[in-house]
Each structure stands twice: as structure tokens, then as C-alpha cells.
Amino acid sequence: MKKCLVLGAGGFIGGHLVKRLKSQGHYVRGVDIKEHEYTDLPSDQFYVLDLRSESNVRQAMTLTTDRGLETFDEVYQLAADMGGAGYIFTGDNDADVMHNSAMINMNVAKVACEFEEKPKVFYSSSACIYPEHNQLDPDNPNCKEDSAYPANPDSEYGWEKLFSERMFMSYNRNYGLDIRIARFHNIFGPEGSWDNGKEKAPAALCRKVAEAEENGEIEIWGDGKQTRSFLYVDECLEAVERLMDSDCLDPVNIGSEEMISINDFALLIAKVAGKNVKLNNIPGPLGVRGRNSDNDFFEERIGWRVSLPLEDGVQKTYKWIAEQVKETINA
């Protein structure tokens, strides 16, 4: 049994990670600035703490058992100030996004090194670190791990993620902190934000389709020809586990290679819902024109490749969001 600490456990991926670790029989403490909004977590402990405070991070990482003071075997650092395109790409939240996330990451790295037996630390970075100039062609984006430099992320969120990657790698070189870094590519699934302004494209589009009448209209930001790949959360966590069990210290992509335009993605969701909808393309925050995970390096180093078809994940996600929409309407 491993002793695991999940920072950001009140969020979408963190909540699913807590459930996975507990299902495997591990001791799990979850920590976040808020309780999980959409599910009851089975964690052994859950602390509500603001991780921008170094003392709070120290409290989160301190494990006292009947054997005395112990160290967590694994720390999963997923806590961040983040959201979808409407939150990240307007520019209105740049200062908070950079300050809040950087403070958390600096605290985690520093405090982890205070323990005689340092924990292994997983850091969730993002595909947003990749240069904007490599993602201008929606049909042929370049998101290989070694394309990250010369650096030119398209958002302050991406710049902070890149900084924190380098910081954790510096703590590895200077203080021997055992780290694993994954660049997540649009992870989606149930039990995450879907209507609070921080939802990402899959949840937002599922909500719009669920709310639409038959032959109704849904709004799509931009021309809808921008491309992305989306990875279902269960496969994301399988990849994280395999990365943690490996000796790979280099940042790796965790994402799907099944690229799709936003217009086609919306129509796929409508197909899953059994609805006919019309797309109304309107101005809105977009991000890069094209983004698709490149998983060659992950397969080379870890020996595994994601395989779940996009439609399978959409079916599970749409079902959950449609239920939330129905409950809201009937409330």
C-alpha cells in the first residue's frame, strides 16, 4: 500500500485520481481549496487548504501515523488556477492564473525537499506550453516534446506551466527531487465543471447539445475549423500511473492522437445524443488553430499508447452532463 497525496483533489482530474488510487488499495489524502462539487470522494482524509500558503502546503505534506512522522510515497500536484478558453484566453485572468499557480508549484517543490525521505512528485503540465507558431496549421500541428523550445506559448497559462516544468526539473538536478512531468492534452470526462465559466470545450459542447431542442442551434466559438484531440480521463490516469512507475524524468505528452475539428466534435456529440443540431459560428476566444498529441516518445519510453476511441469517452461524458442539465431544469 502506497501513501499518496493528491493536491487539487477537489478538481476534475484530481477527483478521478483519488478514486483510482483508493480502488487500488492505497492510503490517500486529498487537498484542495474547496470540496469536490460533483462527487463524494473516498479519500482517507480531505483537507481544505489554500496551497498558495507555504505553511498550508507543509501541513498537507506532513503525515503523522501511529508509527510517528512519515513521508508520502507519492505527491500528485494537479492544483492550479485554470479553466477553459473563456477563462484562459480572454486575458482578464492572466495575473491571477500566473501568480496563483506559480505560488502553489514553488511551495510544493520547496516543501517536498524538506523531508529526509523525499516523496516522488508528479506535476501536471499542459500542451499549452507548446509554441504558438507550431500550431497555426489546423491540419498539421507539431506537438512533439522536443518542439517546446524556442518557447512561445500562446497564453500566460502556458508560460506558467513551462516555468513550473523547468522549476521542478531544477529541483531534481539541485536537490534530488524525484519528479515526473506530463503535458496533458484536453482531458475530459464526467464529474467536472460544465456550467460555471471554467468548463472546457467537451463539457461546454455537451451542455449546449443537451440544452438544445431537436433541430435547434448551438453556438461555436470561431469558424469551428480549429482542431484538437481529447483524451478520456480514465486513459489519462492509466498513462499517469505508467509514467510514475517508469524511470522517465523528461516531460511527456499524455493525450489522444485522434484529432478532430471543433465543428465535427460538436456534431459527434449531437450524434451521441441522438439529436440534429445546427452550428452557429460566432466570435470568441480560441487558442491555437491546431493541437494534437504526439505519443511516439511516450510509447518509446513507457511502452504504452492510449487507444480508447473518442466516441466512447463522449458517450460517458454526455450521459453525465445531460443528467446535470435535466436536474437543473427540474430543480
Domain ranges in the chain with CATH number 3.90.25.10: 188-229+258-292+309-322
Domain ranges in the chain with CATH number 3.40.50.720: 3-187+232-254
Q: What is the pLDDT of residue 161?
A: 98
* CATH code assigned to 3-187+232-254: 3.40.50.720
Q: Is 250 exposed, middle or buried (0-12, 13-18, 19+ CB in 10 A)?
A: exposed
Q: What is the pLDDT of residue 134?
A: 96
Residue corresponding to grid cell 466534435: 265
| β-pair type (3-7, 27-32) | parallel
Closest CA to 180 of 247, 238, 234: 247
The CATH-assigned architecture of domain 188-229+258-292+309-322 is Alpha-Beta Complex (3.90)
**The overall pTM is greater than 0.85:** yes
Rounded CA separation 226/32 (Å): 33
Cell numbers describing residue 169: 526539473
Closest CA to 262 of 276, 282, 235: 282
Closest CA to 168 of 153, 154, 179: 179
Q: What is the pLDDT of residue 69?
A: 84
Across the chain, which has 331 residues, the per-10-residue mean pLDDT values are 97 98 98 97 98 98 87 97 85 95 98 96 98 95 98 96 98 98 98 92 96 96 96 98 98 98 98 97 91 98 95 98 92 70
Q: What is the pLDDT of residue 186?
A: 96
Q: How high does pLDDT run on average in the chain?
A: 96
Distances in Å between the alpha carbon of 64 and those of 22, 29, 61, 119? 19, 12, 10, 15
Neighbours of 69 (CB within 10 A): 10
pLDDT in tens, 48-76: 999 999 999 999 999 988 787 889 999 99
Rounded CA separation 244/180 (Å): 6
Q: What is the pLDDT of residue 66?
A: 79
Q: What is the pLDDT of residue 169?
A: 98
Closest CA to 207 of 216, 218, 215, 198: 218
Residues annotated as catalytic are: 157
